[in-house]
Copies of this chain bind each other. A is one copy, B any other.
Amino acid sequence: MSPQQYDLAHALSRLLGVALAAEEPVLAAHDLQMWDYAVLSALEQGPVGAQAELAALVRRDKTRLIPILDRLEAAGLLRRSVDPADRRNRVVELTASGRQRVTACRADIRAGERRLLAALPPEDATVFVRVLDRLAGDLPDPARASG
């Protein structure tokens, strides 16, 4: 337990566990699973032209994305439609219901995060989040920088 960095991956792993555990009941309250939320969030800025593109956005294999899309479409949260320009592609977009769901869920998740960070001195929290975003390379959606 050195005063310097102890084991970055170890500490990150534990904190991620804490964060995920905190998110889980919130997601459940909105009847969403982890990846549902990721997918709906990725669609928030607008339709995506192909499922493969969406898979890249959420960093998930396109095959593993399909059951999720099936479920979300059946729940009426998103819509898949063939692209007339290239009938192989499926353009995916939120329904009004889906947009409403992800907006409400995000608000609750952010509230939980604020509670977690509230235990810290404010300037520490600010630095932490800023550094975290920088290290995580959280760029503004490189795959669709047009927005």
Please list the residues of chain A having a beta carbon within 8 angstroms of any beta carbon in chain B. 1, 4-16, 18-20, 23, 38, 41, 109-110, 113-114, 116-117, 120, 124-125, 127-138, 140-141
CB distance from A136 to the nearest CB of B (A): 4
When all copies of this chain in the complex are counted, the total is 2
Which B residues are CB-close (under 8 A) to A5?
Answer: 110, 113-114, 117, 129
In the assembled complex, the Cα of A8 lies from the Cα of B20 at a distance in Å of: 9
Describe A's contact surface by its main secondary structure.
helix
15 A-B pairs besides A6-B133, A10-B138, A18-B137 with CB distance below 8 A are A4-B110, A4-B129, A5-B114, A6-B138, A9-B19, A9-B20, A12-B15, A14-B136, A14-B137, A120-B135, A124-B127, A124-B130, A124-B131, A128-B128, A128-B131
**Residue contact B8 to A116, C-beta cutoff 8 Å:** yes
**Residue contact B18 to A135, C-beta cutoff 8 Å:** yes
**Residue contact B12 to A8, C-beta cutoff 8 Å:** no
